Amino acid sequence: MQQICGRWAGRGGRQGPGERAFAIGACVMSAAFIVVFAGLPTGVAVAAALVAGMADGLTEIAYVSRLQAAPDAQRGRLFGLSASVENTGFGLGMLVSGALLDHFRPLHVVGLLHGVAIVLCLAMFVVLVRYGRRERPPADAARERDVPSSVESEAR
């Protein structure tokens, strides 16, 4: 996925994948994980695992790219906080899924937990689209904020 994103970004000087790509990638990843546990033939499960891994790679690239876009003064703290939250979430997820597996089949547990992730990521995507958050390089956004409104209206 790193190679694909690198080639995509290399064309036309694009930024890496943004928040929308993160939300869609997380939905695809979770749906593919559910398919892996659905008890389908091995070939389908392997293909779903490959899709899940690629989508996971996309979300990781989008997430880390977003953190790297933070100002220098905040970047170190954001990476530290991010790592702490990720590890805490992973640990809590393992505890919850372990407790649920005592009472439910693996497909039901995976479906429930990844279903929650899909719903949350779809909600994030809707908010991003609804409020028109454009994906653009931070430098462009900063330049736009620095342009006085009279100059901005003349430019239009």
Residue listed under structure tokens 């039901």:
108
Domain count for the chain, please give it: 1
62 — pLDDT class (breaks 50, 70, 90) = confident
Does 36 reside within a domain? yes
Does 129 reside within a domain? yes
Tokens (6 digits) for 141: 């956004």
Does 46 reside within a domain? yes
147 — pLDDT class (breaks 50, 70, 90) = very low
pTM for this structure? 0.71
Residues 71-123 pLDDT 10s: 888 888 999 999 999 999 999 999 999 999 999 999 999 999 999 999 999 99
Q: Which domain holds residue 125?
A: 2-133
Does 18 reside within a domain? yes
Does 7 reside within a domain? yes
